[in-house]
Every structure is written in C-alpha cells, then in structure tokens.
Amino acid sequence: MNKEHDHLNGFLNGLVTYRARSLSAANLVLMAFPPCLLRYEPAVLARNFATGKDDDVRAKDAPERLLHFFSRRELGDEERREEAKAASRRLVAHRRRCRPDELLASSSSAAGGEDPTVIAELKACEDACYRVLELVHNGFEVPFIATYRPDEYQPHLTRQDLWRLFDMDAEWDATQVC
C-alpha cells in the first residue's frame, strides 16, 4: 500500500510538473488524464486528489467551501429583493420571539392597526438584508462583511443575524427552481 502510494505520488508530481511546463493554467483542467492513470483504482485516485473534479478545484484557486458561488445562478434585483424581504421577516420575528406569519398580525391586533415601529423595523432590516445578500452573492463571507463592511448592516443587523442570513441564503438557493 505504502509503496503504491509513493509510486502514485511520484507519478502525479511528475505529471503536474510536465503539465505545468507544457500547458497554461486554463488548459490544465481541460486536459484529460493520460491512459496510464486508468490502471489505478478510482478510490486510490480520489484519495490522492487525482480526479478531474480535483483539477477543477485547483484551477479555480478559491476555498472549496466557496466553490458553490461559482456555479450558482445569478439573481435579478427583484428576486434578491424578495429574498431579502423573506429573510428580514424571519430575522425580526426571531428577535421578537414570534413566528414570521404572526409578526404583523400581533402588531395589528394590539394597536388597532399595523404597528408603525414593526413596519419601520421590517423595512430597515429588509434594506440591510438586501445589501448584505448582494455582498454574499459576490462571494464575500460573513467574517469579511462583519469586519470590513459594518456600514452595510449596522445598526439593523447583528453579527449573529449575518450568520443566520448566510444560512437562509443557502436555504433559499436550495428551494429555488433553476
């Protein structure tokens, strides 16, 4: 096993060196593996990061946790606004410890009409969510947004809200039909 592993690593290192000398980085991914790699078990190739998918990851030169940003569909302004509205309702409801569908209903029954503070909070939170979602869709992560773009979300969202919004965005993408 160890001898096979060393042989494969040596072969792959030579292959990468050969590819780097003879091809540009863009063509590196497009080149299929030579037939000599077909004699190795797929599990051995996967264990040693020698699959076509691994070449794709190396070519993108980005953290693997963010690679889904390169394959996700682009959202239009209207759809992003709709996502921000849904997310802001959930965030404000979470703060007020109620369900999103109860948010405006509870405020209207208590005050004889919709509570203007709830509506103002929802609107401000929706705008902040929209700006944060725009950054998230451009590939920025929550720690970066929290550190370098606080003017985009404060005072309407907290750092915890950013993480919740990041998770809600993933849920939104999973539920939307392409």
List pLDDT tens digits, range 1-39.
555 555 555 555 555 544 444 444 444 433 455 566 667
Summarize pLDDT for 62-72 with one digit per residue, the tens.
Answer: 677 766 666 66
Q: What percent of the chain has pLDDT over 70?
A: 62
> How much is the pTM?
0.61
pLDDT band at residue 99, thresholds of 50, 70 and 90? confident
For 23, other C-beta atoms within 10 Å of its C-beta total 13
- What integer pLDDT is reported at residue 19 of this predicted model? 47
CA torsion angle for 82, 69, 139, 177 (degrees, to 10)?
Answer: 0
Q: What share of the chain is helix, strand, coil (3-state, %, to 5)?
A: 75, 0, 25
- What integer pLDDT is reported at residue 28 of this predicted model? 45
- What integer pLDDT is reported at residue 26 of this predicted model? 41
